[in-house]
């Protein structure tokens, strides 16, 4: 499959990075974990008591008038970010606002996980580095990967790192599925790999985050093969120009794959035709495999029951934050134990206030420069 060797700055927020979006830390491994019944802050009682999630946020919105998507200059949301948001929304926001705060330990877990994913990808195919200079080129490479993988899946083969994208509730979501294969019963199965630093299965809260992630993949993949994702939606949300000519290396890579495409629009048409005419099935089952980073041994697997209503309800709630309809929230009292392993615990206003306040971005910036 092809990756991008794009010029820096050319395609900011274009949609996909070069790594699988599975490469996010397993927070439950990053500290001593006890599912304590204590609250986030030092005060007693329910930290969320008397919280009006709409009130203060409405006032802040009047002041800065930008939605988080606008403030972070996002044209789309990563499914992995939504999974992280389901762990602690406030932590995910800090991660965007203060990326340098990430601990070295967390960065090491990420790096090791990324290496294992790359090794697995290389088991199935070689990686080709393609120079790209526009965001259309970057997306073209993703579309070429999809075009190459569709026939493999149609013929019953296994594919890895399949890009997915589509609009849900007016927001464009993107992600990369680790693996798709058929079971012995002929059912299409999504397999998600999660690597762990410690040789033990994760806590229930971590599993819940992972279940949400794979369920979102299924929602979007199914919509793609049912023809419910349109090229117009991709072009609109990602602000792409179909008439733009593809770069020479991208055109050459397309030719080598047997595709004739000069402009980005040519490739869009080919991809969406291929997706809708290929008769690919929807995903039948969702499996998460947990493996130990150091020894690459499987610690266990989880079969996920797809509960569409719950997944969509949760997603709608999360998107309300991104579209500026509500304030970000930290963890609930029963999950206060998560704060013990959080990089942002020392500055977290939600935690310090017992779960009733959050800082504006400007307040964070002031705090960090003191
Ligand atoms: Fe979330 Fe707790 Fe971290 Fe605050 S300290 S960001 S509430 S996990």
Could you tell me the two tokens for 331? 């963890």
Instruction: Return the residue matching tokens 């039948």.
Output: 284
Q: What is the pLDDT of residue 294?
A: 85
Nearest to 138 by CA among 258, 241, 228, 218: 241
Could you tell me the pLDDT band of residue 352, with boundaries at 50, 70 and 90? confident
Q: What is the pLDDT of residue 125?
A: 65
Could you tell me the pLDDT band of residue 368, with boundaries at 50, 70 and 90? very low
> What is the rounded average pLDDT of the residues 152-181?
95
163 forms beta bridges with 176
Q: Is the pLDDT of residue 343 over 70?
A: yes
> What is the rounded average pLDDT of the residues 10-25?
39
Residues above pLDDT 70, as percent of the chain: 72
Q: Is the pLDDT of residue 50 over 50?
A: no
Most confident of 12-26, 323-337, 343-357: 323-337
> What is the rounded average pLDDT of the residues 93-120?
70
- For ligand 1, say whether the CB of 337 is within 6 Å of any of its atoms: no
Q: Is the pLDDT of residue 48 over 60?
A: no
- How many Å apart are CA 84 and CA 342, to the nearest integer? 12
Neighbour count for residue 365 (Cβ, 10 Å): 12
- How many Å apart are CA 142 and CA 260, to the nearest integer? 16
Q: What is the mean pLDDT of the chain?
A: 81
For a mutational test of ligand 1's pocket, the pick from 28, 38, 90, 329, i.e. the residue with the most ligand atoms closer than 8 A to its C-beta, is 90
- For ligand 1, say whether the CB of 40 is within 6 Å of any of its atoms: yes
- For ligand 1, say whether the CB of 280 is within 6 Å of any of its atoms: no
Nearest to 205 by CA among 342, 109, 110: 342
Spatial neighbors of 216 by CB under 8 A, at least 6 apart, are 79, 82, 83, 173, 175, 311, 315
Separation of 355 CA from ligand 1 center, angstroms?
A: 9
Q: What is the pLDDT of residue 51?
A: 43
- For ligand 1, say whether the CB of 92 is within 6 Å of any of its atoms: no
> What is the rounded average pLDDT of the residues 227-247?
96
- How many Å apart are CA 196 and CA 25, to the nearest integer? 9
Q: Is the pLDDT of residue 237 over 70?
A: yes
Separation of 174 CA from ligand 1 center, angstroms?
A: 25
H or E, element range at 61: helix 55-64
HSE on the CB side for 285, CA within 13 Å? 15
Higher pLDDT, 112 or 359: 112
For residue 345, the ligand 1 atom closest to its alpha carbon is 5
Ranges 97-101, 153-157, 175-179: which has the least confidence: 97-101
Between strands 77-78 and 171-182, the pairing is parallel
Q: What is the pLDDT of residue 316?
A: 96
Q: What is the pLDDT of residue 300?
A: 96
77 close to 173: Cβ distance less than 8 angstroms? yes
Q: What is the pLDDT of residue 169?
A: 86
H or E, element range at 168: strand 159-168
Could you tell me the pLDDT band of residue 54, with boundaries at 50, 70 and 90? low
Higher pLDDT, 103 or 139: 139
> What is the rounded average pLDDT of the residues 191-198?
91
Spatial neighbors of 93 by CB under 8 A, at least 6 apart, are 68, 328, 358
- For ligand 1, say whether the CB of 272 is within 6 Å of any of its atoms: no
Nearest to 44 by CA among 333, 347, 264: 333
Give buried/exposed letters for 93-114 (b at 16+ CB in 10 A, else e): bbbebbeeeeeeebeebbebbb
- For ligand 1, say whether the CB of 91 is within 6 Å of any of its atoms: yes
Residues above pLDDT 90, as percent of the chain: 59
> What is the rounded average pLDDT of the residues 227-246?
96
Neighbour count for residue 329 (Cβ, 10 Å): 20
- How many Å apart are CA 257 and CA 130, to the nearest integer? 13
Q: Is the pLDDT of residue 165 over 90?
A: yes
Burial of 245 (0-12, 13-18, 19+ CB in 10 A): middle
129 forms beta bridges with 3
Between strands 159-168 and 171-182, the pairing is antiparallel
Spatial neighbors of 185 by CB under 8 A, at least 6 apart, are none
Q: What is the pLDDT of residues 285-315, one digit of tens each?
A: 999 999 998 888 999 999 999 999 999 999 9
Nearest to 220 by CA among 320, 124, 92, 77: 77
Q: What is the pLDDT of residues 243-278, one digit of tens each?
A: 999 999 999 999 998 999 999 999 999 999 999 898
Could you tell me the two tokens for 370? 């003191």
Q: What is the pLDDT of residue 108?
A: 64
Separation of 74 CA from ligand 1 center, angstroms?
A: 23
Neighbour count for residue 186 (Cβ, 10 Å): 9
Q: Is the pLDDT of residue 52 over 90?
A: no
> What is the rounded average pLDDT of the residues 170-193?
96
Q: Is the pLDDT of residue 82 over 60?
A: yes
Give buried/exposed letters for 202-219 (b at 16+ CB in 10 A, else e): bbebbbebbbbbbbbbbb
* Residue with CA nearest ligand 1 atom 7: 330
């Amino acid at each position: 499959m092809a990756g991008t060797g794009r010029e820096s700055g050319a395609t900011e927020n274009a949609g996909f990075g070069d790594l699988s979006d599975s490469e996010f830390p397993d927070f439950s491994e990053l500290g001593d974990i006890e599912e304590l019944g204590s609250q986030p802050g030092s005060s007693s009682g329910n930290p969320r008591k008397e919280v009006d999630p709409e009130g203060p946020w409405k006032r802040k919105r009047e002041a800065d008038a930008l939605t988080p998507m606008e403030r972070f200059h996002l044209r789309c949301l990563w499914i992995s970010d939504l999974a992280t948001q389901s762990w602690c929304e406030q932590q995910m926001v800090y991660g965007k606002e203060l990326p340098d705060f990430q601990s070295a330990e967390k960065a090491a877990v990420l790096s090791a996980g990324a290496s294992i994913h790359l090794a697995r990808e290389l088991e199935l195919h070689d990686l080709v580095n393609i120079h790209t200079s526009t965001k259309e080129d970057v997306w073209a490479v993703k579309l070429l990967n999809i075009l190459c993988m569709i026939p493999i899946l149609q013929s019953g083969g296994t594919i890895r790192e399949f890009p997915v994208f589509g609009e849900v509730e007016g927001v464009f979501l993107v992600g990369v599925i680790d693996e798709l294969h058929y079971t012995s019963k002929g059912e299409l199965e999504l397999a998600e790999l999660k690597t762990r630093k410690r040789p033990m299965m994760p806590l229930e809260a971590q599993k819940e985050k992972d279940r949400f992630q794979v369920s979102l993949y299924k929602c979007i993949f199914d919509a793609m093969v049912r023809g419910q994702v349109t090229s117009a939606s991709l072009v609109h949300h990602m602000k792409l120009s179909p008439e733009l000519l593809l770069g020479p290396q991208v055109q050459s890579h397309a030719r080598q794959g047997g595709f004739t495409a000069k402009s980005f629009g040519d490739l869009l048409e080919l991809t969406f035709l291929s997706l809708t005419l290929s008769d690919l099935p929807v995903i039948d089952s969702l499996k998460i495999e947990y493996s130990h980073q150091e020894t690459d041994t499987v610690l266990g697997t989880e079969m996920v029951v797809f509960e569409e209503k719950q997944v969509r309800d949760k997603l709608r709630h999360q998107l309300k934050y991104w579209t500026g309809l509500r304030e970000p929230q930290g963890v609930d009292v029963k999950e206060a134990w998560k704060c013990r392993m959080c990089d942002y615990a020392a500055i977290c206003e939600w935690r310090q206030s017992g779960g009733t306040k959050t800082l504006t971005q400007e307040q964070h910036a002031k705090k960090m420069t003191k």
